Amino acid sequence: MTFRPDTLDAFLEQFDASAPKIRSFPGCLHLELWRDADAPVVCTTYSHWKNEAALEQYRESDLFRSTWRTVKPLFGDQPVAHSYAVLRPADAIGTASSDPPADR
């Protein structure tokens, strides 16, 4: 989400007020707010949901609608949403070899 510089503080206040409610929404397993290291008006919410149905229930909830209604006017650009599925879970990735890499 890209915010206008003059609205970032308002967004952060809204996030701080809404985040505990979102985090306690059924099916929400994890929620964080990230800020782009190079573009401080760009933020991303990073969340884990029990399943797609739980996320969809949140998206259809009054909580989402009221939060979105408050946040939407603060954007400086069109928001973009991405959903991901784990392709290689962390516990399935082996550790790197202790041998130094071969010369190329």
Class of domain 5-81: alpha beta
Instruction: Supply the pLDDT for residue 95.
Output: 72
* Separation CA 6–CA 73 (nearest Å): 12
pLDDT digits (tens, 9 = 90+) for 38-82: 999 999 999 999 999 999 999 999 999 999 999 999 999 999 999
Instruction: Supply the pLDDT for residue 100.
Output: 62
* Separation CA 5–CA 11 (nearest Å): 10
What is the residue type of 2?
A: T
- Show me where the domains of the chain are located: 5-81
Instruction: Supply the pLDDT for residue 72.
Output: 96
Contacts of 21 (CB under 8 A, 6+ apart): 63
